[in-house]
Chains A and B, each alone.
Chain A
Amino acid sequence: MKILIVEDEKELADSMKKYLESEGYLCEVAGDYLKASDKVSMYKYDCVIVDITLPNGSGLDVIKELKENKSETGVIIVSAKNSLDDKIKGLELGSDDYLTKPFHLSELNARVKAIIRRKSFDGNNEMILKEIKIDLTQRRVFVNEKEITLTQKEYDLLMYFIANKNKVVTKNSIAEHLWGDDSDQSDSFDFIYTHIKNLRKKLLDKACEDYITTIYGIGYNFKTQ
């Protein structure tokens, strides 16, 4: 799986690269529009992460070029501009998702995974992780072939954990993922705890192994290894 990160801020690009590489992706970084344009025309990527504001060009043009080549590449726009205009323009051009800076790496990872899954599974929307099987279309979860009923938030939480399995996921990123980045996260920590407690109980009830571990005060790890 190849991913191109188009981002002029070197430190940010490095962080994204590092996190995604630890997930097993092959990552390349383009620091400006010209390099991005070159790479996009020469190589094939499964997913491109594009910053809108770039030196000597716009990220939107990179997306335009990608789509002109009828490429199947998934596109995630990453922008500091929280403007509806950029979002709409980007989505109109055919980008698949939109993330506002600053974002959590675990959130970016979850989005990348979702896009790649959508592009490559082609209707076969089942995901299996050990004894857990998830029907993505109907949002149903089975443990050892027995269905467990999750609330909407518990389902989202489980998906987020699975996307970032074997990674420490911070409480802040969970709060943002569950309630949106406008919510005041500090309020939500108690509720995250409750959700995790309930989710864990439902999984354990169906004899699922206990994958969720608490990492001190900072977050959780869905450990499958």
Chain B
Amino acid sequence: MKLLNKISLYYLLFAIPVMVACSFISYNMIFNEVIDNTDERLTKDFEQVKEFLKCDTIISHLSLNREITVIETGEKPVSTTPAFSDTIMYDNYEEEMLPFRVLKANFSTPHHDYLVIVGKVYLESEDLVDGIVTSVVIMFVLLIAGFFVINIFVAKRVMKPFNKTLSSLDNYDLSKASEIKFEDSSTKEFKKLNDALNKMTDKIFKDYQNQKQFAENASHEMQTPLAVIKNKIELLIQSKSISEVDMEMIQSIYNSANKLSQLNKTLLLLAKIENRQFAEVKEVNFEQLFEKTLNNYLDIIQQKQISLTKHYNSDVSVKMNPILADVLIGNIIQNAIRHNINGGTIEINLTPKSLTVSNTGNDLKVNADEMFQRFRKSEQSADSVGLGMALIKQVCDINKFSISYRFENKLHIITINF
């Protein structure tokens, strides 16, 4: 439920008991007022009747009026104070039973004793209730309508900065390397919110930048000592006096150093891609790139007796960084060869919209969804560092290509949509 509607709902919930209470109060007040009024008029009528009776005249005339009844009692009254009471009588005009206010009083002239009854139709309480209920309902409907209209207005005007803030937060992507600025608002709460968000995102962004920079710098700084280790080993093995046992040890040091170096190189590349250091974009002819890359591995493809099927849609050019294009295609081809079986197949489908590479291979050991995570690798190729797919994904992400992987009919299939 929207915030504004929620607030309105509470207001309305509060309004209901208030209105009910008010209707009771107004009912009572109106009712009392009406009774007082009626009583006053009855008293006046009674005074008139008294005047008439004093003159002992026109009693017949008075009797004609159906609301006044004068009865001669013939005995001295105990009290002469008028008594009021409510009763229901048949009303000739309205032709139904109606509530009457009745004044009964004893009155004595020197010669006669009378009981005077004066009656008056007064306000029907049903009508009164109807009236009050109707007005309350109308008020309630007007309130709801009012809230509705105000909400629309408020949502449009007052909530605008909030919605703006919300949508810019929603669209914020930390890796897109841009800070967001939230607009100033005249509403105090929104101003506070935007200030807090500005502060927070600034900090997150800076931390993120620092961390990325750190990853890059760390990898970079590791390059030199690694190079020293590798080069010294290369010099060392030139010595003619090394025994086979020693050479074996040197070899395993050398292999580990190489692996570390490879790993570091790839991590550095990943960090650089993340840090958008490959900004230069050119039209890259993918067909040529594929041919060049395949040519490099042609001997391996032949030795593994892999049959290659290529479907190039002529002139597929993709706008991207040439180095990253190399990385992308290189890794895809390497993966397709490395994870292939002897006598397997590789199929390349290149269209202006998409690229699909499928290859035969052993069954999938890891979850297909986790395929693009770093250091995720199948058991057979324990020697590889397990960053190839992460690299492919990173390049696709930075170029806003969508990439998917699936394992179907014993085929590993990678699809990239440009």
Contacts of A19 in B (CB 8 A): 231, 234-235, 238
CA of A181 to CA of B268, assembled, Å? 14
Q: Mark A148-183, 1 if CB is under 8 A from B, else 0.
A: 000101000000000000011010110000011111
Q: What range describes how many residues of A lie at the interface?
A: 35 or more
Partner of A105, one of B223, B224, B231, B331: B231
Q: Which residues of B lie under 8 Å from residue A83 when comparing CB positions? A: 277
Contact with B along A169-201 (1 / 0, CB 8 A): 010110000011111111110010011000000
Q: Which of A28-36, A59-67, A213-221 contacts B (4 or more CB under 8 A)?
A: A213-221
Q: Which residues of A contact B255 (CB under 8 A)?
A: 172
Q: Which of A104, A188, A191, A216 contacts B248 (CB 8 A)?
A: A216
**Residue in B228, B300, B385 whose CB lies within 8 Å of A11:** B228
Residue pair A167, B262 in contact (C-beta under 8 Å): no
Residue of A15, A22, A219 near B237 (CB, 8 A) is A219
B240 CB to closest chain A CB, in angstroms? 10
On whether A84 and B296 interact (CB within 8 A), knowing A167-B238, A218-B247, the answer reads: no
A140, CB-defined interface residue at 8 Å: no
Query: Given the complex, which residues of B lie within 8 Å of A12, measured CB to CB?
Result: 224, 227-228, 231
For chain B, the bracket of interface size reads 35 or more
Complexed CA–CA distance, A186 and B255 (Å):
9
Determine how close the nearest CB of chain A comes to the CB of B387; give it in whole angstroms: 10
* 17 A-B residue pairs with CB within 8 Å: A9-B228, A11-B231, A11-B232, A19-B235, A80-B223, A84-B278, A84-B280, A84-B323, A102-B231, A105-B234, A106-B234, A172-B258, A173-B234, A182-B326, A183-B296, A187-B381, A188-B300
B230-A104 in contact (CB<8A): yes
Cβ contacts B238-274/A at 8 Å (1 or 0 each): 1000001001101100110011011001001100100
Min CB gap B226→A, angstroms: 5
Write the residues of chain A forming the contact surface with B, with a CB cutoff of 8 angstroms.
9, 11-12, 15-16, 18-19, 22, 80, 82-84, 101-106, 151, 153, 167-168, 170, 172-173, 179-188, 191, 194-195, 215-219
Complex interface: chain B residues within 8 A of A105 (CB):
231, 234-235
Q: A187 near B251 (CB under 8 angstroms)?
A: no
Chain B residue nearest to A198 in the complex (CB) = B299
Flag if A217 contacts B323 (CB, 8 Å): no
Contacting residues, chain A, for B82 (C-beta < 8 A): none
Which one, B234, B251, B258, B300, contacts A216 given CB within 8 A? B251
Tell me if B234 and A170 are in contact (CB < 8 A): yes
Residues of A contacting B280 in the complex (Cβ-Cβ under 8 angstroms): 84
Kindly provide the distance from the CB of B213 to the nearest chain A CB, expressed in whole angstroms.
15
In the complex, the answer to whether A153 meets B299 with C-beta atoms within 8 Å is yes
Whole-angstrom distance between the Cβ of A120 and the nearest chain B Cβ: 26
| Contact partners of B226 in chain A: CB under 8 A | 102
Task: Give the Cβ gap from A189 to chain B, nearest Cβ, in Å.
Answer: 9
**Residues on A with beta carbons closer than 8 Å to the beta carbon of B303:** 191, 194
Q: Mark B314-328, 1 if CB is under 8 A from A, else 0.
A: 000000001100110
When chains A and B are docked, how far (Å) is the Cα of A198 from the Cα of B278? 40
Contacting pair B234 A104 (CB below 8 A):
yes
Q: Does B44 sit at the interface, judged by CB under 8 A?
A: no
Q: Tell me the smallest distance from the CB of A224 to a CB of chain B, in Å.
A: 15
| Chain A CB within 8 A of B383 CB | yes
Top 4 closest pairs, chain A to chain B, by CB: A102-B227, A186-B383, A15-B231, A218-B251
Determine whether B334 belongs to the interface, using a CB cutoff of 8 Å to chain A. Answer: yes
Contacts of B238 in A (CB 8 A): 19, 22, 167-168
List the B side residues contacting A172 at CB < 8 Å. Answer: 254-255, 258
| CB neighbours of B269 from chain A (8 A) | 82
Contact with B244, one of A18, A179, A216 (Cβ below 8 angstroms): A216
Does B220 sit at the interface, judged by CB under 8 A? yes
A172 to B230, CA, bound (A): 11
Q: Determine the chain A residues whose CB is within 8 A of the CB of B244 once the complex forms.
A: 216
Specify which chain B residues have a CB less than 8 angstroms from the CB of A170 in the assembled complex: 234, 237, 254
**Which residues, 290 to 311 on B, are CB-close (under 8 Å) to A?**
296-297, 299-300, 303
The answer to whether A102 and B230 touch across the interface, beta carbons within 8 angstroms, is yes
**Smallest distance from the beta carbon of A22 to chain B beta carbons, Å?**
7
> For B235, what are the chain A residues with a Cβ–Cβ distance below 8 Å?
15, 18-19, 105
B161 at the interface (CB under 8 A from A): no
Q: How far is the CB of A190 from chain B (nearest CB, A)?
A: 8
Give the CA-CA distance A210 to B244 in the complex, in Å.
22
Nearest A residue (CB) for B335: A184
Chain A residues whose C-beta falls within 8 Å of the C-beta of B385 in the assembled complex: 184
B361 CB within 8 Å of chain A: no
The contact of B296 among A101, A167, A179, A186, by CB within 8 Å, is A179
Most B CB within 10 A of own CB, among A22, A82, A184, A195: A184
Establish whether residues B227 and A184, one from each chain, have CB atoms under 8 Å apart when the complex forms.
no
Specify the chain A residue showing the minimal Cβ separation from B230.
Answer: A102
Q: Are B254 and A218 closer than 8 Å at their CB atoms?
A: yes
- Residues in A neighbouring B272, C-beta threshold 8 A: 82
Supposing A12-B227, A12-B231 touch, asked if A184 and B247 sit within 8 A by C-beta, the answer is: no
